[in-house]
Structure 1
Amino acid sequence: MLDAVLVQQCADTSLKPAIVEQFIAKAGSQDPLAVTVRSGNRLVLVPKPTTPEEALALVRDNLGRNIVRVGITQYPAGLGLMEAGQLKPEIVNPCENIRMGTALFAKVFRIISKWYGNPTAKDVLPQVMDDAVIAWRTGYFEGVAVFRAEDPGGIKVAEPNQDEPSVEPATAGDARPNQKESLEATKSNGPSDPNKAGIRVDLSEIRGSR
Protein backbone atom coordinates (compact mmCIF):
# COMPACT_ATOMS: atom_id res chain seq x y z
CA MET A 1 0.00 0.00 0.00
CA LEU A 2 1.23 3.49 -0.83
CA ASP A 3 2.86 5.29 2.08
CA ALA A 4 0.55 8.11 3.16
CA VAL A 5 3.51 10.12 4.46
CA LEU A 6 5.23 9.84 1.08
CA VAL A 7 2.09 11.12 -0.64
CA GLN A 8 1.78 14.03 1.78
CA GLN A 9 5.40 15.04 1.36
CA CYS A 10 5.79 14.53 -2.39
CA ALA A 11 2.44 14.84 -4.20
CA ASP A 12 1.41 18.00 -6.01
CA THR A 13 -0.37 20.26 -3.56
CA SER A 14 -3.31 20.90 -5.91
CA LEU A 15 -4.35 17.28 -5.37
CA LYS A 16 -5.73 15.97 -2.12
CA PRO A 17 -4.21 12.71 -0.81
CA ALA A 18 -7.42 10.76 -1.51
CA ILE A 19 -7.38 11.59 -5.21
CA VAL A 20 -3.65 10.84 -5.44
CA GLU A 21 -4.30 7.42 -3.96
CA GLN A 22 -7.11 6.81 -6.47
CA PHE A 23 -4.89 7.92 -9.34
CA ILE A 24 -2.02 5.62 -8.37
CA ALA A 25 -4.34 2.70 -7.59
CA LYS A 26 -6.00 2.96 -11.02
CA ALA A 27 -3.12 4.04 -13.26
CA GLY A 28 0.12 3.61 -11.33
CA SER A 29 2.20 0.96 -9.61
CA GLN A 30 3.29 0.11 -6.08
CA ASP A 31 6.78 -0.61 -7.44
CA PRO A 32 8.98 2.50 -7.81
CA LEU A 33 11.13 0.61 -10.36
CA ALA A 34 8.19 -0.53 -12.49
CA VAL A 35 8.82 -0.03 -16.22
CA THR A 36 6.00 -0.66 -18.69
CA VAL A 37 6.80 -0.79 -22.41
CA ARG A 38 4.18 -0.73 -25.16
CA SER A 39 4.41 -0.83 -28.92
CA GLY A 40 1.11 0.61 -30.09
CA ASN A 41 -1.52 -1.35 -28.18
CA ARG A 42 0.79 -4.30 -27.60
CA LEU A 43 2.52 -4.83 -24.27
CA VAL A 44 6.21 -5.59 -24.70
CA LEU A 45 7.60 -8.12 -22.23
CA VAL A 46 10.74 -6.77 -20.58
CA PRO A 47 12.85 -8.03 -17.67
CA LYS A 48 11.82 -6.71 -14.27
CA PRO A 49 14.47 -4.28 -13.05
CA THR A 50 15.80 -4.78 -9.53
CA THR A 51 17.90 -1.62 -9.22
CA PRO A 52 17.43 2.01 -10.28
CA GLU A 53 20.32 1.55 -12.73
CA GLU A 54 18.59 -1.40 -14.41
CA ALA A 55 15.32 0.53 -14.60
CA LEU A 56 17.01 3.52 -16.24
CA ALA A 57 18.87 1.31 -18.71
CA LEU A 58 15.63 -0.40 -19.67
CA VAL A 59 13.91 2.95 -20.20
CA ARG A 60 16.78 4.28 -22.33
CA ASP A 61 16.83 1.12 -24.46
CA ASN A 62 13.17 1.58 -25.39
CA LEU A 63 12.75 5.35 -25.66
CA GLY A 64 12.13 6.63 -29.16
CA ARG A 65 10.69 3.39 -30.53
CA ASN A 66 8.20 2.37 -27.83
CA ILE A 67 5.92 4.04 -25.30
CA VAL A 68 7.57 3.79 -21.90
CA ARG A 69 5.99 4.41 -18.50
CA VAL A 70 7.99 4.33 -15.31
CA GLY A 71 7.68 4.34 -11.53
CA ILE A 72 4.87 4.70 -9.02
CA THR A 73 2.84 7.06 -11.20
CA GLN A 74 3.80 5.31 -14.48
CA TYR A 75 5.09 8.63 -15.72
CA PRO A 76 5.56 8.96 -19.52
CA ALA A 77 9.35 8.67 -19.59
CA GLY A 78 9.93 10.31 -22.95
CA LEU A 79 7.93 13.46 -22.26
CA GLY A 80 9.88 16.57 -23.17
CA LEU A 81 13.06 14.68 -24.05
CA MET A 82 14.92 15.11 -27.32
CA GLU A 83 17.06 12.02 -26.74
CA ALA A 84 17.44 9.16 -24.24
CA GLY A 85 20.62 10.67 -22.82
CA GLN A 86 18.57 13.50 -21.29
CA LEU A 87 16.69 11.09 -19.03
CA LYS A 88 17.30 11.94 -15.38
CA PRO A 89 17.74 9.19 -12.75
CA GLU A 90 15.30 11.01 -10.45
CA ILE A 91 12.46 9.56 -12.52
CA VAL A 92 12.78 6.28 -10.57
CA ASN A 93 13.07 8.01 -7.21
CA PRO A 94 9.71 7.43 -5.43
CA CYS A 95 9.25 10.97 -4.18
CA GLU A 96 10.36 12.67 -7.38
CA ASN A 97 8.25 10.32 -9.50
CA ILE A 98 5.19 11.12 -7.38
CA ARG A 99 5.95 14.83 -7.61
CA MET A 100 6.25 14.83 -11.40
CA GLY A 101 3.41 12.38 -11.98
CA THR A 102 0.84 14.07 -9.76
CA ALA A 103 1.69 17.51 -11.16
CA LEU A 104 1.12 16.25 -14.69
CA PHE A 105 -2.02 14.33 -13.72
CA ALA A 106 -3.45 17.45 -12.08
CA LYS A 107 -3.09 19.26 -15.41
CA VAL A 108 -4.80 16.38 -17.22
CA PHE A 109 -7.64 16.47 -14.70
CA ARG A 110 -8.08 20.21 -15.21
CA ILE A 111 -8.23 19.81 -18.99
CA ILE A 112 -10.97 17.20 -18.70
CA SER A 113 -12.85 19.05 -15.99
CA LYS A 114 -12.97 22.11 -18.24
CA TRP A 115 -14.37 19.98 -21.08
CA TYR A 116 -17.15 18.87 -18.74
CA GLY A 117 -17.85 22.50 -17.84
CA ASN A 118 -16.01 22.47 -14.50
CA PRO A 119 -18.74 20.45 -12.72
CA THR A 120 -19.34 20.63 -8.99
CA ALA A 121 -22.00 17.90 -8.66
CA LYS A 122 -20.48 14.97 -6.77
CA ASP A 123 -22.20 12.42 -9.04
CA VAL A 124 -20.35 13.84 -12.07
CA LEU A 125 -16.86 14.09 -10.61
CA PRO A 126 -16.19 10.32 -10.59
CA GLN A 127 -16.73 10.33 -14.36
CA VAL A 128 -14.23 13.17 -14.69
CA MET A 129 -11.78 11.12 -12.63
CA ASP A 130 -12.33 8.01 -14.78
CA ASP A 131 -11.76 9.97 -17.98
CA ALA A 132 -8.66 11.57 -16.50
CA VAL A 133 -7.23 8.13 -15.71
CA ILE A 134 -8.00 6.93 -19.25
CA ALA A 135 -6.35 10.04 -20.66
CA TRP A 136 -3.31 9.40 -18.46
CA ARG A 137 -3.00 5.86 -19.75
CA THR A 138 -3.42 6.75 -23.42
CA GLY A 139 -2.05 10.28 -23.55
CA TYR A 140 -5.17 11.56 -25.31
CA PHE A 141 -8.65 12.91 -24.58
CA GLU A 142 -11.07 13.66 -27.42
CA GLY A 143 -8.16 13.74 -29.87
CA VAL A 144 -6.07 16.13 -27.78
CA ALA A 145 -2.56 15.16 -26.64
CA VAL A 146 -3.13 16.00 -22.98
CA PHE A 147 0.51 15.88 -21.91
CA ARG A 148 1.44 18.61 -24.37
CA ALA A 149 -1.76 20.65 -24.15
CA GLU A 150 -1.91 23.98 -22.38
CA ASP A 151 -2.92 23.87 -18.73
CA PRO A 152 -6.29 25.67 -18.36
CA GLY A 153 -5.59 26.33 -14.67
CA GLY A 154 -8.07 27.88 -12.27
CA ILE A 155 -9.51 24.61 -10.97
CA LYS A 156 -8.92 22.98 -7.60
CA VAL A 157 -8.56 19.25 -8.07
CA ALA A 158 -10.02 17.70 -4.95
CA GLU A 159 -11.82 14.49 -4.07
CA PRO A 160 -14.34 13.29 -6.68
CA ASN A 161 -16.55 11.57 -4.11
CA GLN A 162 -16.60 14.05 -1.27
CA ASP A 163 -19.81 15.58 0.05
CA GLU A 164 -18.87 19.19 -0.66
CA PRO A 165 -18.07 20.51 -4.14
CA SER A 166 -14.48 19.59 -4.97
CA VAL A 167 -13.99 21.88 -7.92
CA GLU A 168 -14.44 25.63 -7.93
CA PRO A 169 -17.77 26.63 -9.50
CA ALA A 170 -17.62 27.82 -13.06
CA THR A 171 -18.21 31.48 -13.68
CA ALA A 172 -21.14 32.75 -15.71
CA GLY A 173 -18.97 32.80 -18.79
CA ASP A 174 -17.90 29.21 -18.22
CA ALA A 175 -21.27 27.58 -18.90
CA ARG A 176 -20.81 23.98 -20.01
CA PRO A 177 -18.97 24.20 -23.33
CA ASN A 178 -19.41 22.03 -26.32
CA GLN A 179 -16.46 19.91 -27.36
CA LYS A 180 -15.21 22.31 -30.01
CA GLU A 181 -15.23 25.32 -27.70
CA SER A 182 -13.63 23.58 -24.72
CA LEU A 183 -10.73 22.13 -26.70
CA GLU A 184 -10.13 25.17 -28.89
CA ALA A 185 -7.13 26.27 -26.88
CA THR A 186 -5.40 22.89 -27.05
CA LYS A 187 -6.12 21.53 -30.53
CA SER A 188 -3.28 23.47 -32.04
CA ASN A 189 -0.83 21.10 -30.37
CA GLY A 190 -2.26 18.05 -32.19
CA PRO A 191 -1.84 14.37 -31.19
CA SER A 192 1.71 13.25 -30.61
CA ASP A 193 3.51 10.25 -29.17
CA PRO A 194 4.52 11.41 -25.67
CA ASN A 195 7.84 9.60 -26.04
CA LYS A 196 8.70 11.60 -29.15
CA ALA A 197 7.57 14.97 -27.94
CA GLY A 198 9.76 17.69 -29.34
CA ILE A 199 8.89 20.32 -26.77
CA ARG A 200 9.43 20.54 -23.08
CA VAL A 201 6.66 20.58 -20.51
CA ASP A 202 6.77 22.63 -17.35
CA LEU A 203 6.28 19.94 -14.72
CA SER A 204 5.69 22.47 -11.98
CA GLU A 205 2.32 23.33 -13.53
CA ILE A 206 1.15 20.99 -13.96
CA ARG A 207 -8.54 5.95 -22.28
CA GLY A 208 -7.33 2.02 -21.55
CA SER A 209 -10.76 0.30 -21.13
CA ARG A 210 -13.48 1.47 -18.82
Structure 2
Amino acid sequence: MLDAALIEKCADPSLSPAIVEQFVEAAGSPDPLAITVKSGGRLILVPKPKTPDEAMEIVRENVGRAIVRVGLTQFPAGVGVKDPSALKPDLVDPCENLKMGTKMFAKIMRIVAKWYGNPTENEVQPRIFEDAVHAWKTGEFEGREVFRAEDPGTDWQVPDVARKTEDAEPADGVAGARDERPAETDTASAGIRIDLSRINGK
Protein backbone atom coordinates (compact mmCIF):
# COMPACT_ATOMS: atom_id res chain seq x y z
CA MET A 1 0.00 0.00 0.00
CA LEU A 2 1.28 3.44 -0.92
CA ASP A 3 2.10 5.88 1.82
CA ALA A 4 -0.71 8.42 2.22
CA ALA A 5 1.77 11.28 2.55
CA LEU A 6 3.44 10.27 -0.73
CA ILE A 7 0.07 10.26 -2.50
CA GLU A 8 -0.89 13.63 -1.07
CA LYS A 9 2.43 15.20 -1.99
CA CYS A 10 3.07 13.64 -5.39
CA ALA A 11 -0.05 12.21 -7.05
CA ASP A 12 -2.04 14.13 -9.64
CA PRO A 13 -4.70 16.12 -7.73
CA SER A 14 -7.42 15.14 -10.21
CA LEU A 15 -7.25 11.57 -8.92
CA SER A 16 -8.51 10.64 -5.47
CA PRO A 17 -6.12 8.76 -3.13
CA ALA A 18 -8.35 5.68 -3.52
CA ILE A 19 -7.96 5.65 -7.30
CA VAL A 20 -4.22 6.27 -7.05
CA GLU A 21 -3.89 3.22 -4.79
CA GLN A 22 -6.05 1.09 -7.09
CA PHE A 23 -4.09 2.21 -10.13
CA VAL A 24 -0.70 1.35 -8.64
CA GLU A 25 -2.05 -1.95 -7.30
CA ALA A 26 -3.48 -2.91 -10.69
CA ALA A 27 -0.76 -1.65 -13.02
CA GLY A 28 2.27 -0.62 -10.97
CA SER A 29 4.82 -2.07 -8.59
CA PRO A 30 5.62 -1.66 -4.88
CA ASP A 31 9.30 -1.32 -5.83
CA PRO A 32 10.33 2.16 -7.05
CA LEU A 33 13.29 0.57 -8.87
CA ALA A 34 11.18 -2.06 -10.62
CA ILE A 35 11.87 -2.36 -14.36
CA THR A 36 9.86 -4.42 -16.83
CA VAL A 37 11.21 -4.94 -20.34
CA LYS A 38 9.13 -6.51 -23.11
CA SER A 39 9.89 -7.06 -26.76
CA GLY A 40 7.53 -8.62 -29.25
CA GLY A 41 5.12 -9.40 -26.43
CA ARG A 42 7.77 -11.38 -24.55
CA LEU A 43 9.16 -10.50 -21.15
CA ILE A 44 12.92 -9.97 -21.17
CA LEU A 45 14.71 -10.78 -17.96
CA VAL A 46 16.94 -7.98 -16.71
CA PRO A 47 19.09 -7.77 -13.56
CA LYS A 48 17.28 -6.41 -10.52
CA PRO A 49 18.80 -2.96 -9.89
CA LYS A 50 19.99 -2.14 -6.40
CA THR A 51 20.45 1.59 -6.93
CA PRO A 52 18.80 4.32 -9.02
CA ASP A 53 21.96 4.55 -11.14
CA GLU A 54 21.83 0.84 -11.95
CA ALA A 55 18.14 1.16 -12.77
CA MET A 56 18.74 4.05 -15.16
CA GLU A 57 21.56 2.15 -16.86
CA ILE A 58 19.20 -0.75 -17.56
CA VAL A 59 16.52 1.63 -18.82
CA ARG A 60 18.89 3.40 -21.21
CA GLU A 61 20.21 0.08 -22.53
CA ASN A 62 16.73 -1.08 -23.49
CA VAL A 63 14.74 2.00 -24.47
CA GLY A 64 14.35 2.16 -28.23
CA ARG A 65 14.75 -1.60 -28.61
CA ALA A 66 11.96 -2.73 -26.31
CA ILE A 67 9.05 -1.48 -24.25
CA VAL A 68 10.39 -0.42 -20.87
CA ARG A 69 8.21 0.24 -17.82
CA VAL A 70 9.68 1.82 -14.71
CA GLY A 71 8.98 2.44 -11.05
CA LEU A 72 5.91 2.58 -8.84
CA THR A 73 3.54 3.29 -11.70
CA GLN A 74 5.47 1.27 -14.30
CA PHE A 75 5.68 4.46 -16.32
CA PRO A 76 6.56 3.92 -20.01
CA ALA A 77 10.15 5.12 -20.26
CA GLY A 78 11.04 6.81 -23.51
CA VAL A 79 7.65 8.34 -24.29
CA GLY A 80 8.43 11.60 -26.05
CA VAL A 81 12.19 11.04 -25.74
CA LYS A 82 14.25 10.38 -28.87
CA ASP A 83 17.66 10.03 -27.23
CA PRO A 84 17.93 7.50 -24.35
CA SER A 85 20.71 9.60 -22.83
CA ALA A 86 18.12 12.33 -22.27
CA LEU A 87 16.19 10.14 -19.83
CA LYS A 88 16.26 11.57 -16.33
CA PRO A 89 16.65 9.76 -12.99
CA ASP A 90 13.20 11.17 -12.14
CA LEU A 91 11.86 7.91 -13.59
CA VAL A 92 13.01 5.95 -10.55
CA ASP A 93 12.31 8.64 -7.95
CA PRO A 94 9.15 7.52 -6.11
CA CYS A 95 7.59 10.98 -5.95
CA GLU A 96 8.41 12.00 -9.52
CA ASN A 97 7.37 8.62 -10.90
CA LEU A 98 4.05 8.82 -9.07
CA LYS A 99 3.57 12.40 -10.30
CA MET A 100 4.25 11.49 -13.94
CA GLY A 101 2.35 8.23 -13.81
CA THR A 102 -0.83 9.54 -12.19
CA LYS A 103 -0.89 12.58 -14.49
CA MET A 104 -0.69 10.29 -17.51
CA PHE A 105 -3.27 7.87 -16.09
CA ALA A 106 -5.69 10.73 -15.39
CA LYS A 107 -5.38 11.74 -19.06
CA ILE A 108 -6.05 8.16 -20.15
CA MET A 109 -9.14 8.00 -17.94
CA ARG A 110 -10.43 11.15 -19.63
CA ILE A 111 -9.76 9.62 -23.06
CA VAL A 112 -11.71 6.50 -22.09
CA ALA A 113 -14.50 8.51 -20.47
CA LYS A 114 -14.89 10.62 -23.61
CA TRP A 115 -15.26 7.42 -25.65
CA TYR A 116 -18.06 6.41 -23.28
CA GLY A 117 -19.68 9.84 -23.66
CA ASN A 118 -18.40 11.26 -20.35
CA PRO A 119 -21.00 9.40 -18.27
CA THR A 120 -21.80 10.30 -14.67
CA GLU A 121 -23.59 7.08 -13.69
CA ASN A 122 -21.78 5.35 -10.82
CA GLU A 123 -22.17 1.90 -12.35
CA VAL A 124 -20.16 2.92 -15.42
CA GLN A 125 -17.17 4.27 -13.48
CA PRO A 126 -15.58 0.88 -12.66
CA ARG A 127 -15.67 -0.04 -16.36
CA ILE A 128 -13.97 3.24 -17.30
CA PHE A 129 -11.31 2.61 -14.67
CA GLU A 130 -10.64 -0.93 -15.84
CA ASP A 131 -10.52 0.09 -19.50
CA ALA A 132 -8.04 2.82 -18.53
CA VAL A 133 -5.87 0.27 -16.70
CA HIS A 134 -5.97 -1.99 -19.75
CA ALA A 135 -5.00 0.96 -21.95
CA TRP A 136 -2.13 1.76 -19.57
CA LYS A 137 -0.84 -1.79 -19.80
CA THR A 138 -1.15 -2.08 -23.57
CA GLY A 139 -0.55 1.53 -24.58
CA GLU A 140 -3.68 1.54 -26.73
CA PHE A 141 -7.38 2.22 -26.50
CA GLU A 142 -9.66 1.60 -29.47
CA GLY A 143 -6.64 1.49 -31.78
CA ARG A 144 -5.28 4.79 -30.51
CA GLU A 145 -1.90 5.26 -28.80
CA VAL A 146 -2.85 6.72 -25.44
CA PHE A 147 0.54 7.84 -24.17
CA ARG A 148 1.14 10.22 -27.07
CA ALA A 149 -2.51 11.19 -27.53
CA GLU A 150 -3.67 14.67 -26.66
CA ASP A 151 -5.62 15.19 -23.45
CA PRO A 152 -9.28 15.62 -24.46
CA GLY A 153 -9.58 18.16 -21.65
CA THR A 154 -13.21 17.31 -21.04
CA ASP A 155 -15.26 18.62 -18.15
CA TRP A 156 -15.73 15.05 -16.99
CA GLN A 157 -14.46 14.65 -13.44
CA VAL A 158 -12.58 11.51 -12.42
CA PRO A 159 -14.86 9.83 -9.84
CA ASP A 160 -13.82 9.22 -6.26
CA VAL A 161 -14.63 5.53 -6.39
CA ALA A 162 -13.58 3.10 -9.11
CA ARG A 163 -13.91 -0.20 -7.29
CA LYS A 164 -14.44 -3.27 -9.41
CA THR A 165 -17.97 -4.50 -9.55
CA GLU A 166 -18.51 -8.19 -8.90
CA ASP A 167 -19.40 -8.79 -12.53
CA ALA A 168 -16.69 -6.57 -14.00
CA GLU A 169 -14.37 -8.25 -16.44
CA PRO A 170 -10.65 -8.42 -15.71
CA ALA A 171 -8.59 -5.66 -17.30
CA ASP A 172 -6.92 -8.04 -19.74
CA GLY A 173 -10.26 -8.87 -21.33
CA VAL A 174 -12.06 -5.55 -21.27
CA ALA A 175 -10.88 -3.90 -24.46
CA GLY A 176 -11.23 -6.98 -26.60
CA ALA A 177 -14.65 -7.87 -25.28
CA ARG A 178 -16.23 -4.42 -25.18
CA ASP A 179 -18.05 -4.62 -28.49
CA GLU A 180 -18.92 -8.29 -28.15
CA ARG A 181 -20.51 -7.91 -24.72
CA PRO A 182 -24.16 -8.93 -25.16
CA ALA A 183 -26.92 -6.62 -24.09
CA GLU A 184 -28.56 -7.53 -20.82
CA THR A 185 -31.82 -8.19 -22.67
CA ASP A 186 -30.10 -10.70 -24.97
CA THR A 187 -31.36 -14.19 -24.18
CA ALA A 188 -27.87 -15.56 -24.84
CA SER A 189 -26.59 -13.61 -21.87
CA ALA A 190 -29.03 -15.06 -19.37
CA GLY A 191 -27.36 -16.59 -16.35
CA ILE A 192 -29.82 -19.53 -16.13
CA ARG A 193 -31.48 -21.18 -19.11
CA ILE A 194 -34.08 -23.91 -19.25
CA ASP A 195 -33.83 -26.59 -21.92
CA LEU A 196 -37.18 -26.69 -23.74
CA SER A 197 -35.99 -28.92 -26.57
CA ARG A 198 -37.77 -31.97 -25.14
CA ILE A 199 -41.20 -30.39 -25.27
CA ASN A 200 -43.04 -31.98 -28.19
CA GLY A 201 -45.12 -28.97 -29.01
CA LYS A 202 -48.45 -30.27 -27.66
* TM-score, normalised by the number of residues in structure 2: 0.79
State the identity as a percent. Answer: 60
Corresponding letter in the other structure for 1:34:
A
Structure 1 gaps of 5+ residues are 163-206
Q: What is the number of equivalent residue pairs in this alignment?
A: 166
Corresponding letter in the other structure for 2:158:
V
Whether contact under 8 Å (1:14, 1:158) holds in the other structure is no
1:7 is matched with which residue? 7
Whether contact under 8 Å (2:60, 2:85) holds in the other structure is yes
- Are residues 84 and 5 of structure 1, via their aligned partners in 2, closer, same or farther at CA, if it must alter by over 3 Å? same
Q: Residue 209 in 1 paired to residue 172 in 2?
A: yes
Whether contact under 8 Å (2:59, 2:68) holds in the other structure is yes
Q: How far apart, CA to CA, are the structure 2 residues paired with 1:46 and 1:102?
A: 25
Whether contact under 8 Å (2:129, 2:162) holds in the other structure is no
4+ residue stretches of structure 1 with deviation over 3 A? none
1:148 is matched with which residue? 148
Shift, 1:81, TM fit: 0.3
How do residues 11-22 of structure 1 correspond to structure 2 at under 5 angstroms?
11-22=11-22
- 1:63-109 alpha-carbon deviations (Å, 9 max, x no partner): 10000000000000010101101000111000000000000000000
Corresponding letter in the other structure for 1:157:
V
Structure 2 gaps of 5+ residues are 164-169, 174-202
Partner of 1:120, secondary structure, is: coil
Q: How far apart, CA to CA, are the structure 1 residues paired with 2:171 and 2:78?
A: 19
Partner of 1:38, secondary structure, is: strand
- Are residues 120 and 208 of structure 1, via their aligned partners in 2, closer, same or farther at CA, if it must alter by over 3 Å? closer
Q: Residue 72 in 1 paired to residue 72 in 2?
A: yes
| CA RMSD between the two structures | 1.4
Shift, 1:208, TM fit: 6.5
- 1:44-77 alpha-carbon deviations (Å, 9 max, x no partner): 1111111000100000000100000000000000
2:186 is matched with which residue? none
Structure ranking higher on relative contact order (CA contacts 8 Å, 6+ apart): 1
1:118 is matched with which residue? 118
Q: How far apart, CA to CA, are the structure 2 residues paired with 1:158 and 1:78?
A: 29
How do residues 85-96 of structure 1 correspond to structure 2 at under 5 angstroms?
85-96=85-96
- 1:151-205 alpha-carbon deviations (Å, 9 max, x no partner): 111222122448xxxxxxxxxxxxxxxxxxxxxxxxxxxxxxxxxxxxxxxxxxx
Q: How far apart, CA to CA, are the structure 1 residues paired with 2:161 and 2:65?
A: 36
1:50 is matched with which residue? 50
Shift, 1:148, TM fit: 1.0
- Are residues 33 and 161 of structure 1, via their aligned partners in 2, closer, same or farther at CA, if it must alter by over 3 Å? closer
Q: How far apart, CA to CA, are the structure 1 residues paired with 2:152 and 2:109?
A: 10
Whether contact under 8 Å (2:131, 2:171) holds in the other structure is no
- Are residues 137 and 155 of structure 1, via their aligned partners in 2, closer, same or farther at CA, if it must alter by over 3 Å? same
How do residues 101-180 of structure 1 correspond to structure 2 at under 5 angstroms?
101-153=101-153, 154-161=155-162
Whether contact under 8 Å (2:113, 2:128) holds in the other structure is yes
Partner of 2:172, secondary structure, is: coil
